[in-house]
Chain A
């Protein structure tokens, strides 16, 4: 009987230990790198050729998440669309942005490069594309309360697991024709929390989704500031030429010749009738 009880205790311990060990400790990373996507096989830095970027206003903009390296990388497709719709909503009031298309991930090939970007731009009739890259790191730790997981009930009631989700998103806006980076804006977030062993997976998935949402929320005003800055830069930068698709910038320019002619007339009249 004693031997049977001992065997039972050992098996119970091993089973509980097995429960705890199914749960991954340490951390996990999800990343969609813009460099990996645009320059998949680059062994050296791309050569910069001095080209003039022609932007025809109102510009047709596409916005997409950079495809991740592996299966299931990054937020889920529905969440991606939701986040991009939020970015789209923040930019609809600008008259120089004609349309914003949210591009589903299925249209972007991992490591697709500019060839893939050109295909998407042609498919969606885009002038400019905003690529949102992401890097999310999740750290997992257990606290002292985790010892109560051994009670089995504790695994459902005691929040013995801690997580720390750090997210960075970065929107890089490219002119498709010249392949030039126009401007970029980052957004970061940190979501911390604790969970029970049983509810850990659900809590962490929620924290990861919150991490992306908060980072995107932080990115939107940055993107608006950079856009305003770019608008000013476009006026002075000879490498960027902006013209209206259905309208134009006009100047009331009388010109030096006409001004001098008027000056001569004024001088002649003044001299005769002074």
Chain B
């Protein structure tokens, strides 16, 4: 399993390690609007690997590893790492622009959603036999995000008091995952088209 998704396992392990590092380290790495606007730009990336508790980190790490086990073998580890890095940056910038009420954010679930949607869309094409289970999982995740967006409460997520689920990060991750999957499929079909034209 580790060989199938080394990037996902590495990020998951980093999340768990940082969850044990203590509050001063975590506070220095979290996505914090004012700090980022004052030049602490590393928080755009590091905010995705720090969490509010070990349980929070464990759930996110497991979700990311599970999604990575589907997506990473389909596109390759190097490309997957680049996509996650770029995705982390875009999700963070998206939160800055689209969620003005959000002051602090921690969690890898935006990346997990990106990987899940990316893997789901790619697997939908390549593994038609798994479409039923993919559809069920997609529906469940969409319902969860919709519930969190409408009810402003966490669904099946234990978070400290006063901390709400940033569903915007999930939505941004999902949109980015879908867009990356579409771009990868378009480039793959373009390459196939050129290859067929060359053969004929």
Contact = CB atoms under 8 A, between A and B. Distances in A.
A266 B67 contact: yes
Interface residues on B, range: 35 or more
Nearest to B102: A250
B140 interface: yes
A262 B155 contact: no
Per DSSP, are chain B's interface residues mostly helix, strand or loop, or mixed?
helix
A242 interface: yes
B101 A248 contact: yes
A246 B157 contact: no
A253 B53 CA distance: 11
Contacts of B158: 253, 255-256
A243 interface: yes
A258 B51 CA distance: 17
B56 interface: yes
A235 B66 contact: no
B144 A258 contact: yes
B102 A247 contact: yes
B105 A258 contact: no
A258 B140 contact: yes
Interface stretch (B78-86, B159-167, B177-185, B191-199): B159-167
B100 to A, nearest CB: 8
17 contacts: A95-B34, A250-B99, A250-B163, A252-B48, A252-B166, A253-B107, A254-B63, A254-B157, A255-B144, A256-B157, A262-B63, A263-B66, A264-B133, A268-B130, A272-B127, A273-B126, A273-B127
Interface of A: 57, 95, 231-232, 235-236, 241-244, 246-266, 268-270, 272-273
